[in-house]
Amino acid sequence: MSVIAPKFRLGYLIKGITDNIFWIIVILTLVGIPVVQIVLIYIDFPIIDGEIWNPFRVLDAMTHPERALPLVKSFMQTDFFKVAAFPGFGFAAAIAGGVIFVERKLLAKLQLRVGPFYCGKVEGLLQLVGDGLKLLSKEIIIPAKADKPLFWAAPVLFAATAGAFVALIPVAPGWVVADIDLGLLAVFAVIGFFPIITIVSAWSANSKFPFIGGIRALYQMVSFEIPLILSLLGIVMLTGTLNLMEIVESQANFPWIIFMPIGAIVFFITILAELERIPFDLPEAESEIVAGWLTEFSGMMYGLVQLGSYLKLYAFAALFVVLFLGGWNGPWFYPMEPIAEVITDGVVLVPDALTLEIEGGLLFSQEMLNGLIWFVIKTVGVILVILIPRGVFPRIRIDLLLQIGWYKLIVLAFINIFIALALVYGGIIGPEGIL
């Protein structure tokens, strides 16, 4: 058995792909086309403007952008697209996948090693795919004494709750899955679900180490939720709204981190604790309690929990951006509203030879593209800052953690609230403020 990867030959890869394409074409033409034509005999085609619209004609018409784009645009306004692709699950999962890759390579560089290298040929790009396939193909083992329905439900619930959290995040002007007036309260409600899911999964596994891990997670999450909520109250006071979209719009001139750095620090530390990341990864402390509340999960159940926790990482980082760093607000990359003459006549680069027409984005408006770019840049930056402590800090102990949560962070959060009150009643910010 050799441990060395087989030698990669580009020629073999191309040959394999072309072989596959060849056989697909052969089988499709020999089997597919006769079948389709046999079926088409029995179908009546509509006649529009004196032309028979057979399926081939419809496909032909669809390829024209003028006809296809409105269809795509209207599809993009459906709830299904928003939940599944953008700005919901698909977008978050793409960022999470990128984050896992960056985390591995960044940590590896910090620790003087290489990190994922072979899978995907280029710097281990496809390592995540390989891991996912491995988790999918593994057997799911359930402890004999486990409470099976609850044990099955826990990972699914965890991933689903993380998805619900993602749905509340506004990504660009007008682009949010669930635009609700009490958005911040909904965030608190969703965060409150995680300890329950954790303790349910720990309890249902009926095993000692998950139980201890679950209790630890419960302690940690409950004691850090209070400073988390308190640290965000200052922003609610300044903006007078709980709607996340309106909070972002209120930061068009300056982000709230300028006035509330203490709140931002408290919120950042509570993010680390809520995400169970080092130095607060007590519920999964390997050397003490094996893998904590994840000990009995195997195969894709573990994969779902990991997916959920990375979605949670994205959602918390995005929430930090939305509340403190101004969300999608940022300088414009190109002119906000092109002059009417430019739109109609185009920009004359060389007289009588070349004109360039400036349009909005094909599918998205300029405003949305600009906002999205700024949002992604800020979110990725925050995620990187969340990742770095993993290479620098050891794990903290549970009593020290609770001490930090109850004594220090709550006091700091109250100081932040008093700063916000001073700003509002001092007439600097608020309904009659000077800013």
Partner 1 sequence: MSGQVYPKDTKVLPGLQLEKVDDRIMTLNVGPQHPGSGHMRIIIKVDGDYIVHCDPDPGYVHRGEEKMAEYRNYITNIPHLERPVIHDSCNILYPYCLGVEELLGIEVSERAKYIRVIAAELNRCVYIQYWLAIYGIFLGHSTMFMWPVGDRELMIDLLDKMTGARVTHAYFVPGGVRNDVPANFEDVCLRQVNYFEKRLKEYADVFYDNPILISRTKDTGVLSREDAIKLGTTGSVLRASGVDFDIRKKEPYDVYEELDFQTNVLKEGDSYARSKIPWLDMLESCRIIRDALQKMPKSGSVRVKLKPKPKAGDTEVYRRVESGRGSLGMHIVSRNNPQPYRLKISVPSFRNLIAMPHLLTGEKLGNLPPVYWSLNYWPVEADR
The torsion of the CA quartet 138, 144, 149, 151, rounded to 10 degrees, works out to: -60
Residues of this chain, 111-140, that bind partner 1 according to CB under 8 A:
111-113
Which residue of 159, 212, 244, 305 would you call a contact of partner 1, by CB under 8 A?
Answer: 212
Residue 37 or 287 with smaller CB distance to partner 1: 287
| Residue 60 interacts with partner 1 (CB under 8 A): yes or no | no
Give the shortest CB-269-to-partner 1 separation in angstroms.
13
| Residue 302 interacts with partner 1 (CB under 8 A): yes or no | no
Residue 206 or 241 with smaller CB distance to partner 1: 206
Tokens coding 351? 């007289």
Neighbouring C-alpha atoms within 13 Å toward the C-beta of 119:
13
| Residue 104 interacts with partner 1 (CB under 8 A): yes or no | no
| Residue 38 interacts with partner 1 (CB under 8 A): yes or no | no
- Distance (Å, whole) CA 310 – CA 97: 8
Judge contact between 361 and 73, C-beta under 8 A. Answer: no
Judge contact between 264 and 218, C-beta under 8 A. Answer: no
Segment interacting with partner 1 (CB under 8 A) among 49-57, 80-88, 117-125, 285-293? 285-293
| Residue 192 interacts with partner 1 (CB under 8 A): yes or no | no
Judge contact between 214 and 293, C-beta under 8 A. Answer: yes
| Residue 400 interacts with partner 1 (CB under 8 A): yes or no | yes
| Residue 278 interacts with partner 1 (CB under 8 A): yes or no | yes
Residue 241 or 403 with smaller CB distance to partner 1: 403
Rounded (10°) angle between helices 183-191 and 193-205:
20
- φ, ψ of residue 34 to 5 degrees: the values are -55, -40
Amino acid 380 reads V
Residue 167 or 215 with smaller CB distance to partner 1: 215
User: Which among 321, 304, 284 has a CA at the least distance from the CA of 161?
Assistant: 304
| Residue 110 interacts with partner 1 (CB under 8 A): yes or no | yes
- φ, ψ of residue 275 to 5 degrees: the values are -85, -5
Q: What long-range pairs does 122-125 form, CB within 8 A, spacing at least 24? A: 125/101
Which residue of 89, 175, 194, 209 would you call a contact of partner 1, by CB under 8 A?
Answer: 209
Segment interacting with partner 1 (CB under 8 A) among 18-26, 352-360, 363-371, 387-395? 387-395
Residue 275 or 285 with smaller CB distance to partner 1: 285
Segment interacting with partner 1 (CB under 8 A) among 136-144, 173-181, 310-318, 397-405? 397-405
Residue 107 or 153 with smaller CB distance to partner 1: 107
- Distance (Å, whole) CA 228 – CA 224: 6
- Distance (Å, whole) CA 166 – CA 248: 16
| Residue 285 interacts with partner 1 (CB under 8 A): yes or no | yes
User: Which residues lie near partner 1 (CB under 8 A)?
Assistant: 107, 110-113, 208-209, 212, 278-279, 281-282, 285-290, 390-400
